[in-house]
């Protein structure tokens, strides 16, 4: 179907474009909006709790059996685990990108089920939870109270009872995590009274299991002729401390009754006392709302905002709900910047088109092409299952200069027919389309082909490349369709030849500008042809340009700093505080208060929350750890580098550097949700020898010390510390047996008195909570606590437990980590300003090779793992892109040589990208690499305009040299027009500032630099290489036919 078909049917051509635009608009309204697509690998979390157990016990009895069962589950990448002294066990299983997270969770759950029989009974009763981990944080919300009547426990449970259930019912919410403690009925045992009444903790557990139960008691009158049925209803579980206090422990023959309240105090307290949360200095609680995969973040947050407004109306007096973090803030700011850049780019491109065409009618046609191509692309985004995110929007910005290319070629060809003497728009358009239709198809296919290989890439890089590349390829494909349908129809309808020889048309600014521009362009063309003829006469110049470009490109490619994605100011800063080993939560709170006093008056801070008891870097509960989550003021309120998040981080570190009671680390969250907590390098040092943890810590310390000597590294830290004060407990089994005491009874008694135990349940506020038994706080302060603990022998005698045990003061870790079944210690590496993550990875590998002894190794995790594995893949992708271009051109030209004339200007374009990247200080990250892939296609697409025309002229009888020179002269104007449109359209990216500026610059600099140098090289050496390869081909053909 030729273009004439649509020229004769302008209504049909208009309807086709209108339908594409309509589908695009409809798609925009239903497409999910998010910062990034699901890039982080699917993760499944397995959690368990062994109440009272230390980290070593948890690792041996819980972690190892579960890991052995889970290891090797389908599509697993790697696995990490953490065991803590609070009894918690967490295993994170990471899967390949693209794996269905729900199916991964089912597979892990099946493996966990097989291992449960080997777990301690207490762990099974507490429950082993397997769930997919939602990567995207939508919001972090705080609730706090200015009234002393409402403490942190009340606020946490107020959230769980009144707020969290409603949030979970919002479509698209993947989960809610509350950093606080649930209610629990606490039974505080009085060890002295327990001894007096000859009661041990296991008796209390037995009483609870026998008397605090729900029972199905049946129905009276069923299967009878009775008139009524009577359901028997047992009172069920107790609900108040008074009711629990009346539970019967013993009932003696003399009528005396020993009740629970006689040996214990009962209160509604917290399940654990491991967290303390302050918001604005008041008691509070913090919770995080996670996003389900594939949902619309923007819509969910809008619904959350509405729900929060309703909840605030019902809050108790003096209780407030505030947002600490909202993904919509950065998302909106970023998208606003992208849309502003998009509008600026379109405006600048239209100005360039008008300058070259000097006709409003002619300019309107490319403008319509831009609108149709960009909007219609959203329909494909919807069909492909993509979302409106920073990647797809950046792709549309990049492609503006390309989608206008085809329409410019059409308009310029028609304009050339006018200048050649044709005055009828219809005839001029039909004649012009005969010569350029095949070129439009060819150039579009070549451009689209460079993105075919990226569709087969996996992992994080593959997701980036695919969403970038496919979006651009589709937009160019739509622009080609538009150039063959609507654009020629509009040219035939609206364009008209202007007779500047007519005195009536020789008036006004338009005529003067036309004369001045054409005169200047003619002089430029003349000088260009003179230079081109010199190079054609001395072809060695073209060869030198090629060789120099290849050499310098290779040199700069391997010397440009690298990274995965550019770091941005997201408006959030984390501060991790690690106090001295063994600090209690109260001592940690004092250190946290000291840090808060130092930083809370920073003018850039809008709001901060103080969470004591959570080690953010270690990712686990820790009495000696604390975390600040800081919300910075809006970007507009803190302009300039002195108010950036990096400046805030520097100031926090400076203000807290002299605090001796704690180590303080300030850092920004990762750019991609689901990749850990920090934006630096993350790795784990592994011990594959099976040695002790002290040796591993020694090796890790040596590694960190060596890392900090590297120029690229600011700090290499680990929060692991094996110096937590501990007591090693030994039980004298022979003595136990002689005295009629079971050694397990000794351990069980200690566990319930000191560590506490989950013994029953209580129903309150329409929820189920735990009933916990434990010795009173004053009965378990230090080693002297054991003197008041007694155990009962088989004769019913109460014997002091100290005679069956011994304590030895030792030191050990608070938490233990494993990576892929081996003991490990996590290390976080922060880089000095001006150094990229790629340079940091090189430093890690260098130091590891020099420092780590045999049997010790390291493994990357999170985003660092993806970046480290993506280096060789990038080279493969570039190679595949070039191969695809070569194959398509060879097929189109039926020649293996002519494609080289098109492709040999690509090295110069890539060189331009790396030169500009070095000048602008841009790192070679995924954004830049995507721009380079597009640049390869764009340069090839532009070169085809010249070689295709030269081939046609040669077929008409011109010599090879004449054809090349004539093609260069005729195609110079459209080549410069489309190239300048591309460069000018991307200038807003190069000059970007504010939100998302680093990503903008990475994209803009690479393409602008490549286009500037690439087009200069293209118009100078492509005609030369066309002459060379065409000459060689004809000589080869003659020999073949001879």
Residue 679 has a pLDDT of 67
Fold of 1-30+358-497: Multidrug efflux transporter AcrB transmembrane fold (1.20.1640)
Give the model's confidence band at 447: pLDDT under 50 very low, under 70 low, under 90 confident, else very high: confident
546-570, pLDDT tens digit by residue?
Answer: 899 889 988 888 778 777 778 788 8
Fold of 538-566+873-882+893-1042: Multidrug efflux transporter AcrB transmembrane fold (1.20.1640)
Please, is 811 exposed, middle or buried when counting C-beta atoms within 10 Å of its C-beta (0-12, 13-18, 19+)? Answer: middle
Tell me the C-alpha distance between 849 and 635, whole Å.
43
Give the model's confidence band at 803: pLDDT under 50 very low, under 70 low, under 90 confident, else very high: very high
Q: Indicate whether 1 pLDDT > 70.
A: no
393-425, pLDDT tens digit by residue?
Answer: 888 887 887 788 788 888 888 888 887 778 788
* Residue range 191-262+725-812, CATH number: 3.30.2090.10
Q: Note whether 79 and 94 are within 8 A (CB).
A: yes
Give the model's confidence band at 674: pLDDT under 50 very low, under 70 low, under 90 confident, else very high: low
Q: Which residue has the higher pLDDT, 923 or 509?
A: 923
501-537, pLDDT tens digit by residue?
Answer: 555 555 656 667 767 887 888 899 999 999 999 999 8
Give the model's confidence band at 720: pLDDT under 50 very low, under 70 low, under 90 confident, else very high: confident
Q: Which residue has the higher pLDDT, 994 or 948?
A: 948
Residue 81 has a pLDDT of 92
C-alpha dihedral, 513 to 514 to 515 to 517, nearest 10° = 80
Percent of the chain whose pLDDT exceeds 90: 28
Q: Indicate whether 500 pLDDT > 60.
A: no
Q: Note whether 93 and 68 are within 8 A (CB).
A: no
Q: Report the CATH architecture of 41-134.
A: 2-Layer Sandwich (3.30)
296-343, pLDDT tens digit by residue?
Answer: 788 889 999 999 999 999 999 999 999 998 888 888 888 888 788 878
Say if domain 572-724+815-863 classifies as CATH 3.30.70.1430.
yes
Give the model's confidence band at 1038: pLDDT under 50 very low, under 70 low, under 90 confident, else very high: low
Q: Indicate whether 875 pLDDT > 80.
A: no
Q: Note whether 197 and 263 are within 8 A (CB).
A: yes
Residue 501 has a pLDDT of 57
**663, containing H or E segment:** strand 662-667
226-252, pLDDT tens digit by residue?
Answer: 878 888 888 889 999 999 999 999 987
Residues 6 or more apart from 225 whose CB is under 8 A from it?
none
659-672, pLDDT tens digit by residue?
Answer: 888 888 888 887 77
Q: Where are the domains of the chain?
A: 1-30+358-497, 41-134, 191-262+725-812, 538-566+873-882+893-1042, 572-724+815-863
Question: Once rounded to an integer, what is the mean pLDDT over residues 98-125?
Answer: 89
Residue 749 has a pLDDT of 92
Tell me the C-alpha distance between 451 and 457, whole Å.
11
27-82, pLDDT tens digit by residue?
Answer: 998 888 877 777 777 888 899 988 888 889 999 999 999 999 999 999 898 999 99
Residue 414 has a pLDDT of 85
Give the model's confidence band at 84: pLDDT under 50 very low, under 70 low, under 90 confident, else very high: confident
Residue 508 has a pLDDT of 57
Q: Note whether 266 and 243 are within 8 A (CB).
A: no
Do 1-30+358-497 and 572-724+815-863 agree at the fold level? no
Q: Note whether 933 and 508 are within 8 A (CB).
A: no
C-alpha dihedral, 607 to 613 to 616 to 619, nearest 10° = -140
Tell me the C-alpha distance between 245 and 208, whole Å.
11
**Taking the CA of residue 967 as centre, how many other CA atoms within 13 Å lie in the half-sphere pointing to its CB?**
33
Q: Indicate whether 464 pLDDT > 90.
A: no
Q: Is 186 left (phi over 0), alpha (psi -120 to 50) or beta?
A: beta
Q: Indicate whether 498 pLDDT > 70.
A: no
Count CB neighbours of 12 within 10 A. 14
Give the model's confidence band at 678: pLDDT under 50 very low, under 70 low, under 90 confident, else very high: low
Tell me the C-alpha distance between 218 and 226, whole Å.
16
Q: Note whether 735 and 804 are within 8 A (CB).
A: yes
Residue 676 has a pLDDT of 61
pTM: 0.79
- Helix boundaries (H) for 91-175: 101-115, 121-126, 152-158, 164-168
Q: Note whether 938 and 982 are within 8 A (CB).
A: yes
Residue 260 has a pLDDT of 94
Q: What DSSP line would sit under 425-470, residue for residue? A: HHHHHHHHHHHHHHHHHHHHHHHHHTTTGGGG--HHHHHHHHHHHH
- The CA-to-CA distance between both ends of the chain, in Å, stands at 39
Give the model's confidence band at 96: pLDDT under 50 very low, under 70 low, under 90 confident, else very high: confident
Tell me the C-alpha distance between 633 and 785, whole Å.
50
171-180, pLDDT tens digit by residue?
Answer: 888 888 888 8
Q: Which residue has the higher pLDDT, 909 or 136?
A: 909
């Amino acid at each position: 179907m030729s273009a004439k078909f649509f020229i004769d049917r302008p209504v049909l051509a208009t309807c086709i474009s209108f339908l594409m635009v309509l589908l695009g608009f409809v798609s925009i309204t239903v497409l999910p909006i998010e910062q990034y697509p699901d890039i982080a690998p699917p993760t499944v979390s397995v959690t368990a709790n062994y109440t009272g157990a230390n980290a070593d016990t948890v690792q041996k009895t819980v972690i190892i059996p579960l890991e052995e069962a889970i290891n090797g589950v389908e599509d697993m990448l790697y696995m990490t685990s953490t065991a803590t002294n609070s009894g918690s066990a967490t295993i994170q299983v990471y899967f390949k990108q693209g794996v269905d997270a729900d199916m991964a969770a089912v597979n892990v759950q099946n493996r966990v089920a097989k291992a449960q029989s080997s777990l301690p009974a207490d762990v099974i009763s507490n429950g082993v939870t397997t769930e997919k981990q939602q990567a995207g944080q939508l919001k972090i919300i705080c609730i706090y109270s200015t009234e002393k009547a409402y403490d942190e426990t009340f606020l946490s449970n107020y959230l769980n009872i009144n707020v969290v259930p409603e949030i979970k019912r919002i479509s698209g919410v993947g989960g809610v995590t509350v950093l606080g403690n649930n209610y629990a009925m606490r039974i505080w045992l009085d060890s002295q009274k327990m001894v007096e009444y000859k009661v041990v903790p296991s008796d209390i557990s037995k009483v609870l299991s026998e008397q605090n139960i729900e029972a199905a008691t049946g129905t009276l009158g069923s299967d009878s002729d009775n008139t009524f049925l009577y359901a028997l209803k047992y009172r069920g579980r107790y609900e108040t401390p008074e009711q629990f206090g009346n539970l019967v422990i013993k009932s003696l023959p003399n009528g005396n009754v020993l009740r629970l309240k006689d040996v214990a105090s009962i209160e509604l307290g917290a399940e654990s006392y491991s967290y303390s949360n302050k918001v604005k200095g008041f008691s509070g609680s913090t919770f995080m709302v996670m996003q389900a995969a594939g949902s619309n973040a923007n819509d969910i947050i809008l619904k959350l905002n509405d729900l929060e407004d309703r909840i605030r109306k019902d809050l108790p007096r003096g209780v407030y709900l505030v947002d600490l973090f909202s993904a919509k803030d950065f998302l909106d700011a970023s998208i606003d910047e992208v849309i502003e850049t998009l509008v600026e780019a379109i405006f600048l491109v239209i100005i360039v088109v008008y300058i070259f065409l000097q006709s409003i009618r002619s300019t309107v046609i490319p403008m319509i092409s831009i609108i149709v191509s960009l909007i219609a692309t959203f329909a494909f985004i919807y069909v492909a299952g993509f979302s409106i995110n920073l990647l797809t929007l950046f792709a549309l910005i990049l492609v503006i200069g390309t989608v206008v290319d085809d329409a410019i070629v059409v308009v310029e060809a028609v304009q050339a027919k006018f200048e050649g003497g044709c005055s009828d728009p219809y005839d001029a358009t039909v004649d012009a389309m005969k010569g350029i239709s095949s070129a439009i198809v060819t150039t579009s296919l070549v451009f689209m082909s460079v993105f075919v290989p990226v569709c087969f890439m996996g992992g994080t890089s593959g997701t980036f490349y695919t969403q970038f590349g496919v979006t651009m390829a589709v937009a160019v494909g739509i622009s080609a369709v538009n150039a063959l349908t609507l654009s020629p129809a509009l040219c035939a309808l609206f364009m008209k030849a202007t007779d500047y020889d007519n005195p009536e048309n020789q008036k006004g600014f338009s005529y003067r500008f036309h004369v001045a521009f054409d005169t200047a362009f003619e002089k430029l063309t003349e000088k260009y042809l003179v230079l081109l003829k010199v190079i054609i006469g001395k072809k060695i110049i073209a060869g030198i340009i090629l060789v120099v470009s290849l050499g310098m490109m290779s040199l700069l490619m391997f010397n440009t700093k690298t990274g995965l994605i550019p770091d941005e100011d997201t408006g959030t800063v984390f501060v991790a505080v690690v106090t001295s080993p063994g600090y209690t939560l109260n001592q940690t709170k004092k250190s946290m208060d000291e840090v808060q006093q130092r930083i809370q008056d920073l003018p850039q801070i809008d709001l901060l929350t103080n969470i004591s008891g959570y080690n953010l870097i270690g990712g686990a509960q820790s009495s000696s750890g604390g975390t600040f989550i800081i919300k910075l003021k809006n970007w507009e309120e803190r302009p300039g580098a002195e108010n950036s998040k990096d400046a805030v981080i520097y100031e926090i570190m400076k203000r807290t550097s002299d605090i001796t009671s704690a180590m303080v680390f300030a850092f920004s969250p990762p750019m991609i949700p689901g990749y850990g907590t920090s934006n630096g390098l993350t790795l784990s040092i592994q011990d594959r020898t099976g040695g002790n943890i002290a040796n591993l810590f020694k090796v890790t310390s040596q590694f960190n010390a060596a890392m900090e000597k590297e120029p690229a590294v600011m700090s290499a830290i680990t929060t692991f510390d094996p110096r937590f004060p501990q007591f090693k407990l030994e039980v004298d089994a022979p003595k136990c047996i002689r005295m009629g005491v079971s050694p397990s009874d000794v351990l069980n008694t200690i566990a319930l008195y000191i560590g506490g135990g989950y013994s029953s349940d209580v129903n309150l506020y329409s929820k189920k909570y735990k009933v916990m038994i434990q010795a009173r706080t004053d009965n378990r302060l230090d080693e002297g606590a054991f003197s008041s603990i007694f155990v009962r022998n088989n004769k019913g005698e109460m014997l002091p437990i100290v005679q069956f045990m011994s304590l030895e003061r030792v030191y050990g870790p608070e938490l233990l980590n494993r990576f892929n079944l081996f003991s490990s210690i996590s290390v976080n590496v922060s880089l000095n300003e001006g150094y990229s993550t790629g340079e940091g990875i090189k430093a890690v590998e260098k130091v590891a090779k020099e420092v780590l002894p045999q049997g010790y190794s390291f493994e990357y995790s999170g985003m660092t793992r993806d970046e480290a594995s993506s280096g060789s893949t990038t080279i493969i992708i570039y190679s595949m892109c070039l191969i695809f271009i070569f194959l398509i051109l060879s097929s189109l030209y039926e020649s293996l040589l002519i494609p080289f004339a098109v492709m040999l200007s690509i090295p110069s374009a890539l060189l331009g990208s790396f030169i500009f990247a070095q000048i602008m200080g841009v790192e070679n990250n995924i954004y830049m690499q995507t721009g380079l892939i597009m640049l390869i296609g764009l340069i090839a697409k532009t070169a085809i305009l010249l070689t295709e025309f030269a081939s046609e002229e040669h077929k008409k009888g011109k010599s090879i040299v004449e054809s090349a020179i004539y093609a260069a002269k005729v195609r110079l104007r459209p080549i410069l027009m489309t190239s300048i449109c591309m460069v000018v359209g991307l200038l807003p990216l190069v000059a970007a500032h504010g939100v998302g500026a680093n990503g903008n610059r990475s994209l803009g600099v690479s393409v602008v630099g490549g286009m500037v140098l690439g087009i200069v090289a293209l118009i100078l050496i492509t005609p030369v290489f066309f002459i060379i390869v065409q000459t060689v081909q004809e000589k080869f053909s003659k020999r073949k036919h001879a």
